[in-house]
Structure 1
Amino acid sequence: MKELMPWKLLHSELVFDHRWYKVRQDVVELSNGAIVDDYFLSVRPDVALVFPVTAKREIVFVRQYRHGAGKVLIELPAGTFDPQKEIAESAALRELQEETGYRATHLTKLATLYDNPVKETNKIHLFLADNVELVSAQNLDHTEEIEVLLIPIDAVQEKLSQGEISVSGTVAAVVQLK
């Protein structure tokens, strides 16, 4: 069997650059010599996602409208960050407290996953936070409307099985702890 090789990047150009979305057009040479001159990628920031567990063994979830899906969805607290400017752990701690008001004193790294490696450049960094405590009100930006939900750990798997929890990063974190 032939060894798989990375594509050779011949040229790359940012063709759409907006604060909410960036698109890059690459020209690449495949291992068979074929040239693809219009390979478009979404240039996205990394995501830090937290599986926060309270002392009562409740999981802190957030519920919010997601326009791409056109639905209100249940997710774990998460947010984007630039890995050139911030480490994943600090982004996870920051997002947890901003979105929920809960604070963690320690994180355990669960995994780093590629979100959609076919067309997107980002990764999702999953963390476990035990014994989180409510220490403040939410600190949301103007684009966020977030409801905080406390779900007993024993009820999470059922919500996943019933499709109530269906966002990929959240599902990956829940499965990690199964």
Structure 2
Amino acid sequence: MTMDWKLLSSKYLFKDAWLTARADKCETPLGKIVEPYYVLEYNNWVNGVAIREDGQVIMIRQYRHGIGQTLLEIPGGTMDPSDPSPLFAMQREMLEETGYEFKEWVELGTIAPNTASSNNYTYMFLATGGVKVQEQQLDHNEEIEVVTMPIGELQQLLLDNKIVHSLHTTCIFYALLHLGKMGMK
């Protein structure tokens, strides 16, 4: 038996560049009507663990207004409608935020940030062989500090729960597993 709901109607409540909210009317397989069911529409996102040629991990520090804190994170951002692929978007974001280009890229997978109420996905990457080729090219609302550290320090930050952005934590775990730097006990 399918558990998928049938979408009966949608009404947009708010549309803006960074946030679109809609109210759906749905019917469950058992015939129950669920109304309203709120959905937030976002562009897809990308993020990536970045490692320089010398093995240092490139992190970024920036203020996150949603929780009112300055956080240590991995590079990433929103896919633009003109981006032909998630990899292209990640390469663009990495260059803009850090000034680095990378020799090798590994796709680590795709996750859904909030399956209950958001419609988008996050594409995760590992970039290695990083070389600085330019200065940062930040958006008008971005203030980003580039921070480098040994991979062991990143592992410890993760184990100590010091990386709080869940999408970034997930990507870091996948990257460390791929690199053989995070064992499963």
- Tell me the TM-score normalized by structure 2: 0.90
Corresponding residue number in structure 1 for 2:152: 154
Q: Deviations over 1:102-134 (max 9, x none)?
A: 112331100100110101111110011110111
Q: Deviations over 1:43-100 (max 9, x none)?
A: 0111111111112211111110000011001111001014685310000000000001
Corresponding residue number in structure 1 for 2:55: 57
Corresponding residue number in structure 1 for 2:179: none
Contact 1:57/1:152 (8 A) holds in 2: yes
Answer with 44-53 or 156-165: which moved more.
156-165
Mapped partners of 2:81, 2:153: distance in 1: 34
2:79 to 81, 85, 89: 81
User: Within 5 Å, which residues of 2 pair with 1:1-178?
Assistant: 3-82=1-80, 85-176=83-174, 177=176, 178=182
Answer with 81-90 or 106-115: which moved more.
81-90
Higher strand share: 1
Q: Deviations over 1:10-67 (max 9, x none)?
A: 1112220011211011111011111112101110111111111112211111110000
3-state SS of the aligned residue for 1:111? strand
Contact 1:103/1:133 (8 A) holds in 2: yes
Q: Unpaired segments of 5 or more residues in structure 1?
A: none
Aligned-residue CA RMSD in angstroms? 1.4
Mapped partners of 2:43, 2:145: distance in 1: 24
Q: Number of aligned pairs?
A: 176
